[in-house]
Amino acid sequence: MSARVSECRDLRVEYLRAPIGIGTRRPRFSWIVDHAQDTYELEVSTRDGRLVWTAGPVESAETSLVEYAGDEIASNTVYVWRVRSRTADGAWTPWAESSFETALLDAADWVAAWVEPAQQDTLVERWSIVDWIRGLGPDTALEDRLRPPQLLRQRVKVHDGLSRARLYATARGVYSAFVNGIRADDQVLAPGSDAYEHRLSVQAYDITAALTAGENVLGVALADGWWAGRLGLTGSSGQFGTRLSAIWQLHLDYADGTSQTVASGGDVRSAVGPWEYADLFVGERFDRRAVPAGWDRAGFDDGDWMPVTEVSRDHELLRPFTGEPIRRILELPAVAITETADGTIVDFGQVIAGRVRLHLHDTTPGQRVVIEHTEVLAADGSWFDNIVGINKEQRDVFIAAGGDDEWEPEFTFHGFRYARVSGLSAPLPAEDIVAVVIASDLEQTGAFTASDARLDRLHQNVVWSQRGNFLSVPTDCPQRERAGWTGDIQAFVGAASNNAQVVPFLSRWLDNLRADQLPDGRIPIFSPRSPFDADAAARADGIGSIVAAAGWSDAIATVPWTMYERYGDRRVLEENYDAMLRWIEFQKTAASSGLPDALVDADLSDERLRRQSLLYNTGMHFGDWLTPSTMEGRPIHEAIGIAPALTSEYVAPMFQAQTLTIAALAAKVLGKKSDAAVFTARAADVRSAFAAEHIDAEGDLPILLQGVYVLALAFDMVPTELRSRTAERLVNMIRERGDRLDTGFLSTPYLLDVLWDSGYPGVARSLLWQSEMPSWLYEVDNGATTIWESWDAITPGGEIRAMSFNHYAQGSVDDWLHRRVAGIRPTSPGYRTAVLEPDFEIGVDHVRAHVGTPYGPLAVEWTRAGDSISVITNVPHGVAATLKTGQTQRTLSPGVNSHQFPLNAVHTVHR
C-alpha cells in the first residue's frame, strides 16, 4: 500500500465554508486535493450521527459541485459531512470533515407575523425622467419628508441548557439585529436589495453565544433602505413601499432534545430611534442624545413604547439569502487633510463605496458635525459635487451628546474619495478619521500585476470598481444610481469572475432578474425593478421609455453562460434556461411583427420581407451606448441619443444571434438536443439574413463606426470569405483616429479580442497602451483610482465633469489582461482544461497573475530578460493545462514548473 496522502482541504457547500442558512435541498459539495484523484467517498449525517447519504466509493476525478442525492434535507438543521479521496495508486486520504446548516426552506416553516412599528406616512415624490433632467422637485425641505428609523424590541425567555440558537430575519426596509446589546453578526444593510414584489431574502444568524438563561432582548433597528428610500436616476422615494415592517423567527434547541420557537408578533414594542432620518442617497442624521440607553438589553423600561401592528402572516415571498452579505471589508486611513473655510477636506486616496468613521474628542452637547462626500475635487483642489441630480446629498450629520465619541453611519453608504467635515471644534488628526469600505464580502480569487505601474493601476482600478459596485446587487455606480443595470454586468462578468468568486452573488441577482421578467418575455434593463420604475417607463417617451433593450436584456444569456464557462456550474444554466428561452421568443415575435421605421413604407420584395421578419431590429434600444465620436463636442443631453439612433438597428439582431447561439450551447449542456438544433438553425438564419441586409460585397456595414464592426466580427455575423476585409476596415478606422478606440458600451468588451483573433495583435496592443483620450491609460494618467463612466470625465483641458467616477463596465479590459497578457484561458468549462499562452510582446518585462478555479488557483509568472523568457506555472490537480509559446506547446504537470525559452522561439507575427 502506498504512503498515506494529505487529506482533502477547503471543504465547501454551495461555494461557502461551513455555511449556515443554506437555501436548497440539493446542496453541492466541493473540496480540493493535492493529488490526482481517481475515486472519492462522501458521507452526510445529521448532528446526532444519523447517516442520510453515502456517495461512493465513486470512481471520478471530480471534486467540485458534487450534488447531494440522499434523504430529504430538513429545514433549520445541522448536517455534518465528510469526504475522502483516493489516488491512482490506491492510497486513501484521511476523512476530512465540515458542516452546513439549512435555512427555513418552506413558507410552512414560518409562524411569525410581519410587524409594523408606529410611523407616519410621508410624501412620496413621483418624478419622471424629464422632471429629473429639468431639475424639478418639491419645494419643501428635504429633511421634512424623510421618515425616521424605528427601534423594535422583543423579550425572549430562554431556559437552561441552550445548545443552539438561530435567528431568521428580514425586513421591508434595512435592519440591524441585536441580542442583549450585541450585534447578531457583522453584516450591514440587511437584507439588501431585492425585487421585493416577488421575493425577499432572509438572513440566518448564529446567536447562541449572545443568549443567557432567563430574560433576553432581541432588538431591531429598522430604516428605509432600498424598500422605501431614494433610488435610481431620479432619487425618488417609496418606489416599493412606504411602510416599514420586519419579520423574524428565533429557533432554540436545548440539550435535553426540546426546542422552542420565538416569533415576531404582537408582543414586540417600538419607538422612534436616535435618527432623524437615514437614507441610502441622502445620508443620515443621528443624535447621540436621543439614544435610549439599554433599549436592546434586559431590564429596560419600555412602558412608554408603542405596540406594533401585526400586518400579515404572508410568508410566500421569503427566500433564504444566497452568498455573502454586505460587510465592512476594509478601512482606509486619511492620506491628506486640508483645512478650508468650509471645513476639513480629507483625501482617502481611493474612490470607494462606504462611509466615514469619526473619533471625536471633547464634544459639547448638541454640537453638529457634518460629513459630505465626493469622488473628485475641482482642478484647483476646491470642493466639487460630481453627483448630478436631486435627493442625493450624500451628507451625514452627527449631533453629539458631549465628551469623547466614535460614530459611523448605520443605514447609508456613499460613493467617494474625499470627505469634507465641518462643525469640528478643533483640527482633525488623521488618526481620528477612516473610510470604511463596504461591499458584498466576496472572496477575492484572482490577481494581476505587471512591471509597468500603469497596468497595475488599471487592474486595481477595475478591482476597486467591482468592489464598489458589487454591493448587494451588481450596480452601475455607487453614488448616483446604484441600480442593477443588466448591460453593465453582461459587459463585465468575465472580468468579474477572474477577480472574485461571484457565483452565489450573481446567482442571487439572476434570481431577481428572472422574478422581474415580464409576462411577454422581456428582460428589464435593470433589476431589481420597482413599481415606480414600471410606471415611469410607461409614462415616458424616448430613452426613458425603454423597458428591455438589446445587449442589456441579453444578460439573461451572457451572464449565466460566462459563469458556466468559468466555473463549470451546470445549475446556473438550469435555473436560467427557461427565462433565456422566453426572452428569445419575445425577440422572435418582435422580429416577425414589425419593420424598422425607414422600411415601413418601402416596397420590399418577398425575400426582403422574409429576411426582415427574422431580425429583431425594431423598438427603442440604447445601441452601442456612449460611442465616443458621437459624444465629442456635444452637450450630453443631445449626444446620448446619437449612438442609439445610429446603431440600434444593427446591434439588436447581432445580440439576437449571439443569444440564440448561447441558448443552443446551453441546451446541449442540459441534454436538450432538439432545442439545441432549433436554436442553432435559427441563429444561422438570423446571421444569414443580417449579412444579406447589411453587409456588402466588400465586407462593409452601413455605418462606419468601430463598434458595429467589432460586434459583427465578434458574433460571427460576417460571412467567412469577407471577414478579413471587414477586419481590415475596422483597423483602418482605428488608425484614422490615431490608434484610438471609438467603441461604445456594448462593443468595447470585444474590441481587443476581435483584433487579436483577426490577426492584428499589434493594433490591440497599441489600443491598450494608448494614453490619449479615449483610452484606459488616459484615465490612469489622470489619477483615476476606479473606472470612469465617461472616458472624458476629466477632459484633456483639465475640466472636471459631473460624471460618475466609478462605473466598472469599461473595465472589461481586465479580462483581456488575464486571458491575453497573462494568457490564462479555460478551454473547457470550469478550467477542467486550460491553456497558458502569455503575450511576451505586450511591452512589459514581467507579469504575474492567477485566477481561481474550482480546483485551486491557476497561476503563471513570466519574465523577459535579454534574449530569453522565463515562465513559472502553478497548476492545481484537476486542471489539465498546456503552455503555448509561439508555435510550440507543452503539457504541464500539476504543481510548480519552470520553463526557459529563447526569445526568438516565442515571437508572434503581428500587423
Catalytic positions, written as ranges: 481, 789
**Is residue 731 within a helix (H) or strand (E), and if so which, with residue range?**
helix 723-736
Grid cell in block for residue 728? 481590415
DSSP letter (8 states) at residue 887: T
CA 22 from chain centre, in angstroms, equals 20
DSSP letter (8 states) at residue 207: -
Grid cell in block for residue 613? 421578419
Grid cell in block for residue 718? 460576417
Widest pairwise Cα distance in the chain: 86
Give the Cβ contact number of residue 378 at 10 Å: 14
Residue with cell 486550460: 834
Q: With the CA atoms of 415, 420, 189 and 293 taken in that order, what torsion angle do they form, in degrees rounded to the nearest 10?
A: 180
Radius of gyration from C-alpha coordinates of the chain: 28
Grid cell in block for residue 861? 509568472
Burial of 820 (0-12, 13-18, 19+ CB in 10 A): buried
907 Cβ neighbours under 8 A, 6+ residues apart:
841, 886
Query: For strand 259-263 and strand 269-272, is the pairing parallel, antiparallel, or unpaired?
Result: unpaired
SS (H, E, C) 593-610: CCCCHHHCCCCCCHHHHH
The span from the CA of 833 to the CA of 466, in Å, is 27
The span from the CA of 866 to the CA of 863, in Å, is 10
Grid cell in block for residue 671? 441534454
Check if the beta carbon of residue 343 is closer than 8 Å to that of residue 420. Answer: yes
Grid cell in block for residue 599? 422600411
Check if the beta carbon of residue 557 is closer than 8 Å to that of residue 662. Answer: yes
Grid cell in block for residue 13? 457547500
The span from the CA of 480 to the CA of 503, in Å, is 26
Q: Which of 529, 537, 473, 536 is CA-nearest to residue 506?
A: 473
Query: For strand 414-422 and strand 343-363, is the pairing parallel, antiparallel, or unpaired?
Result: antiparallel
Tell me how far CA of residue 416 lies from CA of 128, 230, 710, 788, in angstroms. Answer: 27, 18, 34, 13
Residue type, 118: A
**Is residue 660 within a helix (H) or strand (E), and if so which, with residue range?**
helix 642-669
Check if the beta carbon of residue 244 is closer than 8 Å to that of residue 228. Answer: yes
| Three-class SS state of 109 | helix
| Three-class SS state of 729 | helix
Burial of 559 (0-12, 13-18, 19+ CB in 10 A): buried
DSSP letter (8 states) at residue 547: S
SS (H, E, C) 222-271: EECHHHHCCECCCCECCCCCCCCEEEEEEEEEECCCCEEEEECCCCCEEE
Check if the beta carbon of residue 198 is closer than 8 Å to that of residue 515. Answer: yes
